Amino acid sequence: MHGLMQDWPLTVDKILDHAKNWHGDREIVSRSVEGPIVRSTYAEVHRRAKQLSNALKGLGVKPGDRVATLAWNTGRHIEAWYAIMGMGAICHTLNPRLFAEQLCYIINHAEDKIIFTDLTFLPILAEHRAEMPTVQKVVVFTDEAHLDPKIYPGAIAYETLVASGSPDFVWGDFDENTASSLCYTSGTTGNPKGVLYSHRSNFLHTLVTLGVDVMCLSARDTVLPVVPMFHANAWGLTFSCAAAGCKLVMPGQKLDGASVYELLETEGVTFSAAVPTVWLGLLNHMRENKLSLSTLKRVVIGGSAVPEAIVRGFRDEFGVDVTHAWGMTEMSPMGTLSSPNARIAALDAETQLKYKLKQGRPPIGVEIKLEDDANQRLPHDGHTFGRLMVKGPFIAGGYFKGDGGNILDEAGFFDTGDVATLDGDGYMQITDRAKDVIKSGGEWISTIEIENIAVGHEKAELAAVIGAAHPKWDERPVLLVKLMPGAQSSKEEFLAFLDGKIAKWWTPDDVVFVDDIPLGATGKIDKKLIRERMKGYVLPTAKAKETA
């Protein structure tokens, strides 16, 4: 027997309708790519997005067509995002930090028809124009005055396109399982693969992110999503802020400590989200300039593991609470968050910190399990490592165009490619990516744990651990350290710092000081590149063995 409730398809246009109806004058403030801070409101963004849907229809865009954006976080980008999805087309966010070759691959694979972009990326698109045969039009998020027609002949100024459309357009009115958006994983192994979200999956993800133990957003919050819309949908914030009626502050292309700090203070930001490297930049800027924060209360940090030094820095020096989060493009992206449960909330601050550093527990809508290589469930004892598998209504069931084949196990779980532990409270801790974990003498060593401790050394700016071949143990850890500008150190100093903080047999066999630790397109340490750079490297312990 079916229930007798109303049929109200969960489509994301309703999120912006809600923001317009009930928070219409709430501001969306952007640091524009042209320079000045520009102000808009949900009502205005809603009207202009409808105009844009009409204009796109005029350009021949039909439901199901892929319309891409290669752009920074701005109010215009939000307009395009809702205009594309509202009309039933698919908003494909492109990551400008990818190499041009990968971008072309993704654009061709998705068969993007139109690309919205910022002035910043127009030259790259122009250079590779011939390699993107499906792209019929490029629209630049600017006005005629700022658009030099010589850079990309035929490019359309966004403001002109918006002005050409009428504000009457009926959004939605289609099945909630209709595809809404597309985002490719950054393809650290093999080609990037497309995750195709539906209206329903995004709507449900939005409801979940609003929860108090998740993002805890309210109509009183002012939110600065530093995490880009092209990085796993800005972790859902472009939907959840509209759903909650938060004031939105969009940082544009300036994500350095000084620029982020300026917006936090001038706009009265209460909540923000970004990867750890962005926060390191902010913390360093505030320390160097002896600054404090007057309104920021909470930050969500994810994308890679949060070092203890960041959590302590925010808490002790700036009075900001950190929630550690884990997720992935395939999960829309929120998977787990480190919000305390009742037992942990009653512990003293130092003991609670241990749990804050874990990636946390799943909210409703995310099922997780831990298995070994033989698909046997592993205990939730906080020690046993295993493959982390996930299932839920906003988790990918397959990749776009069937890439990668069947990605689910018999019970419908997706293998995240992460190795983790689960403790008795249900707190998950990532120990590594399966391909990064170090296998030493048949046992596993977590590179993330060593990195996070090493980066807590006052002289370390960044730290990375990789496995190097060893004749007896298969692999042994090597710690690479990029020192703070002007700092001097030694292998012994870092090994002494790690002593007592990790198991003896996890102690790196070597410490190598490097000028650069490369970061990938989503701000994570690029271990693949590091391994390539370290190709000819031989462990001193392996050399000793050879000569012995």
Catalytic residues: 185, 330, 439, 444
CA torsion 102→55→15→234, rounded to 10°? 20
Segment lying near ligand ADP (by CB under 6 A), choices 59-67, 105-113, 184-192, 239-247: 184-192
Amino acid at 427: Y
User: Is the CB of 259 or the CB of 336 nearer to ligand ADP?
Assistant: 336
User: Is the CB of 310 or the CB of 325 nearer to ligand ADP?
Assistant: 325
Q: What's the min distance (Å) between Cβ of 326 and ligand ADP? A: 4
User: Is the CB of 240 or the CB of 338 nearer to ligand ADP?
Assistant: 338
Q: What's the min distance (Å) between Cβ of 62 and ligand ADP? A: 29
Which of these, 52, 278, 46, 12, lies nearest to 156 by C-alpha position? 52
Name which position in 172, 225, 281, 303 contacts ligand ADP (CB under 6 A).
303
Helix count (H) and strand count (E) of the chain? 18, 24
Q: Does 232 bind ligand ADP (CB under 6 A)?
A: yes
Name which position in 69, 323, 329, 446 contacts ligand ADP (CB under 6 A).
329
Q: Does 234 bind ligand ADP (CB under 6 A)?
A: no
Q: Does 418 bind ligand ADP (CB under 6 A)?
A: yes
Q: Does 269 bind ligand ADP (CB under 6 A)?
A: no
Interatomic CA distance for residues 119 and 33, integer angstroms: 7
Q: Does 304 bind ligand ADP (CB under 6 A)?
A: yes
How many angstroms separate the Cα of 415 from the Cα of each of 84, 302, 333, 364, 411? 31, 19, 14, 19, 11
Q: What's the min distance (Å) between Cβ of 523 and ligand ADP? A: 8
Q: Which strand (E) or helix (H) includes residue 261?
A: helix 257-266
Cβ contacts of 50 within 8 Å, gap of 6 or more = 83, 86, 165, 167, 168, 169, 171
Answer yes or no: are the C-beta atoms of 131 and 143 closer than 8 Å.
no
Amino acid at 55: A
Q: Can you tell me which residue has the tokens 């990789």? A: 466
Name which position in 66, 76, 361, 433 contacts ligand ADP (CB under 6 A).
433
CB atoms within 10 A of CB 207: 17
Q: What's the min distance (Å) between Cβ of 324 and ligand ADP? A: 6
Bin 365: left if φ > 0, else alpha if -120 < ψ < 50, else beta.
Answer: left
User: How deeply is 5 buried, as exposed, middle or buried, from its count of CB atoms within 10 A (0-12, 13-18, 19+)?
Assistant: exposed
Q: What's the min distance (Å) between Cβ of 156 and ligand ADP? A: 30
Q: What's the min distance (Å) between Cβ of 524 and ligand ADP? A: 6
User: Is the CB of 473 or the CB of 506 nearer to ligand ADP?
Assistant: 506
Name which position in 328, 370, 453, 478 contacts ligand ADP (CB under 6 A).
328
Q: What's the min distance (Å) between Cβ of 191 and ligand ADP? A: 12
Omega prior to 379 cis, within 30 of 0: no
The token pair that represents 60 in the structure block:
């021949």
Q: Does 386 bind ligand ADP (CB under 6 A)?
A: no
Q: Does 522 bind ligand ADP (CB under 6 A)?
A: yes
The token pair that represents 169 in the structure block:
């357009």
- Annotate 401-466 with DSSP letters as a single string: GGTTS--B-TTS-EEEEEEEEE-TT--EEEEEETTT-EEETTEEE-HHHHHHHHTTSTTEEEEEEE
User: How deeply is 322 buried, as exposed, middle or buried, from its count of CB atoms within 10 A (0-12, 13-18, 19+)?
Assistant: buried
User: Is the CB of 68 or the CB of 140 nearer to ligand ADP?
Assistant: 68
Q: What's the min distance (Å) between Cβ of 476 and ligand ADP? A: 22
Name which position in 165, 281, 302, 477 contacts ligand ADP (CB under 6 A).
302
User: Is the CB of 114 or the CB of 278 nearer to ligand ADP?
Assistant: 278
# binding residues, ligand ADP (CB under 6 A): 23
CB atoms within 10 A of CB 267: 20
Q: Does 41 bind ligand ADP (CB under 6 A)?
A: no
User: Is the CB of 165 or the CB of 302 nearer to ligand ADP?
Assistant: 302
Q: Does 305 bind ligand ADP (CB under 6 A)?
A: yes
Name which position in 51, 142, 188, 323 contacts ligand ADP (CB under 6 A).
188
User: Is the CB of 198 or the CB of 359 nearer to ligand ADP?
Assistant: 359
Residue ranges that bind ligand ADP, judged by CB under 6 A: 185-186, 188, 232, 302-305, 324-329, 333, 359, 416-418, 430, 433, 522, 524
